[in-house]
Amino acid sequence: MIALGPVSPSDHAAIPAELRRRIEDDPWARALGIRFLDLRRGYCRVSLALQPHMLNFQGHPHGGVIFSLADVAFGAACNAHGGAAVALSVTISFLAAVRPGATLVAEGRERRQGRRAGFYDIAVTTEDDGTLVASVHCVAHRVDAR
């Protein structure tokens, strides 16, 4: 197996307090009730307690809510470097059903950061037993080259 960059939260540097505040004050994350558990350069861990209004017509958590949780982790991880990064590509695979009322955790990790492109993996799991609910692969584009 080839290591493509930092894989442990301890491999990621802390970010300035003002940048942390701006990222954690994201209106969409607040509207959904997403909590930031850990945030560093290239790394983010967030959680979401699923609410009744987040269910689809079949009574299961809506895929868009799961995607949004992963996207918040991705956006925070890639923008925690400072400057601006935007999504170029996001691919999600839904792997397990989730019971209504569960709490989900999304952990985003930078795999490689080039001059402009960054590659990220996000794992969405259940908080109680760690079941992998979704696997997400993302590519970010740095608007401001470092």
Within a domain: 113? yes
Cα-flanking dihedrals φ and ψ of residue 125, to 5°?
Answer: -130, 165
Q: What is the mean pLDDT of residues 1-25?
A: 71
Q: How confident is the model at residue 3 (pLDDT cuts 50, 70, 90)?
A: very low
Checking if the pLDDT of 128 tops 90, the result is yes
CATH of the domain at 56: 3.10.129.10
Within a domain: 102? yes
CB 51 within 8 A of CB 33: yes
Domain containing residue 100 = 9-142
- Give 69-125 pLDDT, tens digit per residue: 999 999 999 999 888 999 999 999 999 999 999 999 999 999 998 889 999 999 999
Q: How confident is the model at residue 9 (pLDDT cuts 50, 70, 90)?
A: low
Within a domain: 53? yes
**Angle formed at CA 78 by CA 3 and CA 83, multiple of 5 degrees:** 130
- What span, in angstroms and rounded, lies between the C-alpha atoms of 10 and 13? 8
Within a domain: 114? yes
pTM of the model: 0.89
Within a domain: 118? yes
Cα-flanking dihedrals φ and ψ of residue 124, to 5°?
Answer: -105, 120
Q: What is the mean pLDDT of residues 120-132?
A: 97
Within a domain: 134? yes
* Number of domains within the chain: 1
Least confident segment among 8-17, 18-27, 81-90: 8-17
Q: How confident is the model at residue 1 (pLDDT cuts 50, 70, 90)?
A: very low
Q: What is the mean pLDDT of residues 39-56?
A: 96
pLDDT for 108:
97
Checking if the pLDDT of 2 tops 80, the result is no
Within a domain: 79? yes
Within a domain: 132? yes
Helix, coil or strand: residue 15:
coil
